[in-house]
Amino acid sequence: MRLRTAVLRVIVVSSLFWGALFLALYWQKRHREERAHDPRWTVHRIASRPLTQDRLPLSVLAELLHLNADHAQSLFSFRPAEVALGLQECPAIEKARVWRLLPGTLGVEYALREPIALLAGVKNVALDASGKLFFLFPFFAPKRLPAVVFPPGSRTTPLSLVALQRSVLSSDVSSSALDLVRQLAQIGEREHLFLDLVDLSQINHPTLFRREVTIAFTSIARNEKLYVRLDPITLPQRMGVLPRILHACLKNGFQPGIIDMRFEGYAICSQQLVKM
C-alpha cells in the first residue's frame, strides 16, 4: 500500500512538473511569436558604433544584417549573440557586438581589420598585420596601399578567400613580408616617400646571384619612382642601414632611379657610391 502511494505521488509530481514546463515553453514560444509580429518592435534604425577609423556604410551593414526596407523585421527576431557571430564571418570584420535598443533600434559595435597591403595580382584583396585576407570594396573607402608580390608557387588562382589564405600565407615568407611592409612604410614616410611595392618574387630564385627583394617608392611631392634592390640573405642588416642610405641619396632633392644595395659595404645610388 505504501509503495503504491509513493509511486502515485511520484507520478503526480512528475506530471505536474513536466506539465508546468511544457506550459512555460509553450507560453514563451507564443509570446515570442506575438512580439515578432507586433509592429511596435519593428526595426526602424541601426545604431552603429565603429571601433576603428574606417566605418561600414549603413547600406552595407544593413545587408550584412539581412535587413530589407521592403520587409519589416521585429527586433526580437534577432538573437544578438548569433547576429554578432554572423557579422564576424565577414572577413573584413575583426570583432562585433550586437544588442537591442527598444522599441525599434538594433545596436551594432564593430571593428574592421586594418589593411596594410594589397595582394598583387588579385583584385580587391588586402592583408592586415596578422596576415588575414579580406576584400576592400565595399567595406572600406578607397585607399592607397603598397602591393606585395609573393614568390611563385605560393599563390595559385583559388576560388575563395579561404583557398587564397591557405595558398598565400602557408610559408614563413608571408609573415616576414608583412613585417617588411610595415618597416618600409615607416622609413619611406620619414623621407616623404610612399611605399608602392614589395616584390619577393625572386627571393628563392634557383640562381643565387639573381635572388633579390625589389622595393618601389614614389615621391609624395612628385609622381616619380625610386627603386631599391636588396639581397635577401643580408636583408635584416640592409634594412638597418636603409634609412641612412635613402637620406644620403635624397639629401639634395628627390632623384628617380635605382639604389642597389646587394653589394657588400656599398650602395650604388644613381651612379654614385655610398658607403654602408
What homologous superfamily does CATH list for 39-112?
Answer: membrane protein fhac (3.10.20.310)
Q: Which CATH class is domain 117-275?
A: alpha beta
pLDDT band at 156 (very low <50, low <70, confident <90, very high): very low
pLDDT of residue 251: 81
237-246 mean pLDDT = 92
Helix or strand or coil: residue 65?
coil
pLDDT tens for residues 107-118? 999 999 999 999
Q: Are 188 and 195 in contact (CB under 8 A)?
A: yes
Q: Say whether pLDDT at 253 is over 90.
A: no
Beta strands in the chain (DSSP E): 45-50, 93-101, 105-112, 117-119, 125-127, 133-135, 147-149, 193-199, 213-219, 225-230, 257-261, 266-269, 272-275
Helices (H), 217-258: 235-250
If you average pLDDT over residues 250-272, what whole number do you get? 81
Residue position matching grid coordinates 635572388: 211
- Tell me which residue of 247, 244, 237 sits closest to 262, measured CA to CA: 237
**235 phi/psi in degrees, rounded to 5:** -55, -45
Q: 213 is written with which cell numbers?
A: 627583394
Burial 3-27 (b: 16+ CB within 10 A, else e): eeeeeeeeeeeeeeeeeeeeeeeee
Q: Indicate if the pLDDT at residue 13 is higher than 70.
A: no
Q: What local confidence, expressed as pLDDT, does residue 221 receive?
A: 84
pLDDT at residue 68 in the model? 81
Signed CA dihedral, 221, 224, 229, 232: sign only: positive
Give the mean model confidence (pLDDT) for residues 127-148.
Answer: 91
Domain range list for the chain: 1-36, 39-112, 117-275
pLDDT tens for each residue of 18-55: 666 655 565 555 555 555 566 677 888 999 999 999 99
Query: Which residues pair with residue 109 across a beta bridge?
Result: 49, 97
Backbone phi and psi for residue 127, each to the nearest 5 degrees, phi listed first: -125, 150
Q: Rounded to an integer, what distance in angstroms lies between the CA atom of residue 78 and that of residue 101? A: 12
Q: Write down the H helix ranges in 56-171.
A: 58-64, 80-88, 161-168
Of residues 110 and 5, more confidence is placed in: 110
